[in-house]
């Protein structure tokens, strides 16, 4: 009798352990989440393009558990003087929110702020003359603000 009870408890314990381990593995983000996050938050145009493509297909990345929420340019205008900065600000929010969730924000903040500045400069590259100069100055101001207060 004691032996059966012991075997029954062992089988039950094994079933519980297996269920918990399976649930944990199923709920876990893919192992390459840090690499994907890093690839989407670099200063390059290709990194920006990869992120915008992923943002357009968020459902395809749902297993990663990324935070896609944004308030765009926070308390600053999203389109200052008509310059479309909103998407660049959304990518900046993406980096901030996801690195904070990962506990590695401080180590990545400077790069995230630099990536915002590079994104804004790419927006400004579409203009010429005095309009480009104004856009570049506005981009610099946004960069300085996030660098100091972000």
Are residue 49 and residue 20 in the same domain, yes or no?
no
Q: Find the mean pLDDT for residues 89-100.
A: 98
Are residue 39 and residue 101 in the same domain, yes or no?
yes
Window from 24-28, 59-63, 109-113, 143-147 with minimum mean pLDDT: 24-28
Give Cβ neighbours of residue 70 (< 8 Å, ≥ 6 apart): 89, 90, 93, 94
Note the pLDDT of residue 1: 46
Are residue 124 and residue 76 in the same domain, yes or no?
yes
| CA 6 to chain centroid | 49
Q: Find the mean pLDDT for residues 27-50.
A: 96
pTM for this predicted structure? 0.82
Are residue 10 and residue 73 in the same domain, yes or no?
no
Note the pLDDT of residue 25: 52
pLDDT-derived band at 22 (thresholds 50, 70, 90) equals very low
Asked whether the predicted pLDDT for residue 21 surpasses 70, the reply is no
Asked whether the predicted pLDDT for residue 10 surpasses 70, the reply is no
Are residue 53 and residue 99 in the same domain, yes or no?
yes
pLDDT-derived band at 40 (thresholds 50, 70, 90) equals very high
Q: Find the mean pLDDT for residues 92-114.
A: 98
Are residue 95 and residue 22 in the same domain, yes or no?
no
Q: Find the mean pLDDT for residues 35-53.
A: 98
Tally of domains in the chain: 2
Note the pLDDT of residue 26: 56
Window from 16-30, 69-83, 92-106 with minimum mean pLDDT: 16-30
Q: Return the CATH number at 105.
A: 1.20.90.10
Query: What residues make up the domain containing 59?
Result: 31-149
Are residue 109 and residue 35 in the same domain, yes or no?
yes
Are residue 20 and residue 75 in the same domain, yes or no?
no
pLDDT-derived band at 28 (thresholds 50, 70, 90) equals confident
Are residue 138 and residue 71 in the same domain, yes or no?
yes
Are residue 10 and residue 56 in the same domain, yes or no?
no
Are residue 43 and residue 11 in the same domain, yes or no?
no
- For the chain, what is the HEC assignment? CHHHHHHHHHHHHHHHHHHHHHHHHHHCCCCCHHHHHHHCCCCCHHHHHHHHHHHHCHHHHHHHCCCCCCCCCCCCCCCHHHCCCHHHHHHHHHHHHHHHHHCCHHHHHHHHHHHHHHHHHHHHCCCCHHHHHHHHHHHHHHHHHHHHHC
Are residue 24 and residue 74 in the same domain, yes or no?
no
Catalytic positions are: 92
């Amino acid at each position: 009798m004691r032996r059966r009870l012991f075997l029954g408890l062992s089988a039950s314990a094994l079933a519980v352990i297996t269920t918990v381990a399976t649930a944990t593995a199923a709920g876990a983000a893919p192992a390459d989440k840090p690499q994907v996050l890093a690839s989407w938050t670099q200063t390059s145009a290709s990194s920006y393009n990869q992120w915008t493509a992923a943002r357009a297909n968020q459902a395809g990345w749902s297993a990663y558990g990324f935070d896609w929420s944004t308030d765009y340019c926070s308390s600053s205008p999203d389109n200052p003087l008509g310059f479309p900065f909103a998407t660049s600000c959304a990518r900046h929010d993406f980096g901030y929110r996801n690195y904070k969730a990962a506990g590695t924000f401080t180590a990545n903040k400077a790069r995230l702020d630099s990536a915002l500045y590079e994104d804004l400069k790419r927006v400004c590259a579409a203009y010429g003359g005095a309009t480009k100069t104004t856009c570049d100055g506005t981009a610099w101001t946004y960069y300085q603000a996030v660098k100091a207060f972000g």
